[in-house]
C-alpha cells in the first residue's frame, strides 16, 4: 500500500513543530551562546530536535496501530527513544551528571535489546559469530556509542540532519533493491521527520537540534540497524557502512583524546568536521560534503554488499579506508592551536 501521503504529512508536521519550538526557545531564552569550544559565532536557539522526536514517536504509534509495526519492535524503539530523548531534554534545560546520563543510556540500550531479542548470528569473513551474552554486551556498547557519537557529531549546522537523511534514504534503497519493501517505511519516515527540522537547521541554522534530538537519532538508527540484522546479517554491515562518516570521525577523535589523557566527557571542537569547517570558514561546504560522501561513496559500497556478494566486513574496511584518510588529513582528535 502507498503511504507517501504520510511521509509528506510528517515533513510538514516536523517543520511546523520546529517553528513552534524555536519560538518557545526564544521566549524561554534557551539560547546556545558561542564560547571557545563552539563551532558557531551567532547565539542560536536550541532544542529543535524535539520536533524529530515527537514526529517519529507519533509515526511509531500510527504504524503499530495499523499493523505495520510489530509490538516488540515498537516497544524497543518507542521505549528506548523516549528515554534517551527525555534525558537529552533535561540536559538541554539544565545539567545531568555524565555518570547518570551514561547509566540511562545503558538502560535504554538494554531495553531495546530485550525487545529486539538481542543480536542474532553475524557472518564475519565467512565465519559465523554465534549470539550469546558477550555478543549482546557488545551490542549494548554499540548502541550506547552510536547515540553518544551522534551527539558528538552534532556540532555544525545541518550535519547531523544530513547524515540521518542520507543514511535513512540509503537503507531504504537497499531494502527495496533486496526485495524487502516492507522495511522501507521505518527509515523513510525517520528521514521525513528529520527533513522537516533540517529546513530550519540548514546552514545558516535558525535553531539547533540539542541533545534530545541527536541522542534520539543515534538510538533510533541503532535500533533500525539491529532490526535489519534479524532479516539478514548483511544488513548490519550495510548500516555500519552507511554510518561511516560519523563512526570514523568520532572514533578516531575519541581514541586520540584517550591516548592523550583528555577528559573525553568534556566539550571540545577537535573532530575532523570541526577542523574542516574552520579551514573553509563556513559550515555549508562540510555539511554538503557529508551528503556527497554518503550518496556517492558509502551507498554504492553498501549496495555491493547486498547485490554483488561483497563480504560485509570487507565492505566496511573498503568504505572506511578513505574516511580514515580524511580524518587524519583534517586532524581528528588533534589539539587545536591557540
The pairing of strands 122-124 and 31-32 is unpaired
**Does an H or E element contain 99, and which?**
helix 98-116
Nearest to residue 53, comparing CAs of 167, 194, 156?
A: 194
- Residue owning grid cell 519550538: 21
Distance CA 144, CA 106 (A): 6
Residue carrying the nine cell digits 531495553? 111
DSSP state of 39: S
* Residue 151 assigned ligand-binding role: yes
Angstrom CA distances, 271 to 62, 221, 251, 336, stand at 38, 21, 10, 10
Hey, CA dihedral for 44, 152, 291, 9, is it positive or negative? negative
Encode 251-260: b = buried (16+ Cβ within 10 Å), e = exposed.
bbbbebbeee
For residue 90, CA distances in Å to 45, 55, 144, 150, 299 come to 16, 19, 18, 18, 35
- Grid cell, residue 53, equals 522526536
Of 124, 128, 110, 38, whose CA–CA distance to 316 is shortest? Answer: 124
What is the secondary structure of 281-315 as a DSSP string? Answer: TSSHHHHHHHHHHIIIIIHHHHHHHHHS---HHHH
**Residue 211 annotated in ligand binding:** yes
Per the annotation, where are the binding residues for Mg(2+)? 151, 211
Per the annotation, where are the binding residues? 151, 211
Amino acid at each position: 500500500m502507498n503511504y507517501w501521503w504520510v511521509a509528506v504529512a510528517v515533513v510538514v508536521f516536523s517543520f511546523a513543530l520546529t517553528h513552534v519550538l524555536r519560538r518557545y526557545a526564544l521566549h524561554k531564552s534557551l539560547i546556545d551562546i558561542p564560547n571557545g569550544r563552539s563551532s558557531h559565532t551567532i547565539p542560536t536557539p536550541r532544542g529543535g530536535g524535539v520536533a524529530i522526536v515527537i514526529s517519529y514517536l507519533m509515526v511509531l504509534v500510527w504504524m503499530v496501530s495499523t499493523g505495520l509495526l510489530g509490538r516488540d519492535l515498537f516497544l524497543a524503539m518507542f521505549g528506548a527513544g523516549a528515554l534517551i530523548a527525555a534525558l537529552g531534554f533535561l540536559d538541554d534545560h539544565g545539567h545531568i551528571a555524565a555518570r547518570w546520563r551514561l547509566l540511562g543510556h545503558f538502560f535504554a540500550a538494554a531495553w531495546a535489546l530485550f525487545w529486539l531479542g538481542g543480536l542474532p548470528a553475524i557472518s564475519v569473513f565467512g565465519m559465523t559469530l554465534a549470539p550469546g551474552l558477550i555478543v549482546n554486551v557488545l551490542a549494548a556498547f554499540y548502541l550506547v556509542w552510536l547515540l553518544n557519537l551522534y551527539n558528538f557529531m552534532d556540532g555544525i549546522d545541518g550535519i547531523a540532519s544530513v547524515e540521518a537523511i542520507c543514511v535513512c534514504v540509503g537503507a531504504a534503497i537497499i531494502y527495496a533493491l533486496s526485495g524487502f519493501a516492507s522495511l522501507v517505511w521505518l527509515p523513510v519516515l525517520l528521514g521525513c521527520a528529520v527533513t522537516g527540522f533540517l529546513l530550519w537547521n540548514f546552514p545558516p541554522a535558525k535553531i539547533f537540534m540539542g541533545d534530545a534530538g541527536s541522542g534520539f537519532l543515534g538510538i533510533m538508527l541503532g535500533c533500525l540497524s539491529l532490526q535489519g540484522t534479524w532479516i539478514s546479517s548483511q544488513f548490519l554491515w550495510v548500516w555500519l557502512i552507511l554510518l561511516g562518516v560519523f563512526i570514523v570521525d568520532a572514533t578516531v577523535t575519541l581514541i586520540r583524546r584517550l591516548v592523550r589523557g583528555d577528559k573525553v566527557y568534556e566539550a571540545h571542537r577537535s573532530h575532523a568536521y570541526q577542523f574542516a569547517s574552520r579551514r573553509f570558514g563556513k559550515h555549508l561546504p562540510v555539511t554538503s560534503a557529508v551528503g556527497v560522501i554518503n550518496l556517492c561513496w558509502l551507498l554504492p559500497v553498501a549496495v555491493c554488499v547486498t547485490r554483488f556478494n561483497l563480504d560485509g566486513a570487507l565492505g566496511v574496511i573498503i568504505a572506511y579506508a578513505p574516511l580514515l584518510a580524511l580524518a587524519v588529513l583534517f586532524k581528528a582528535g588533534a589539539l587545536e592551536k591557540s
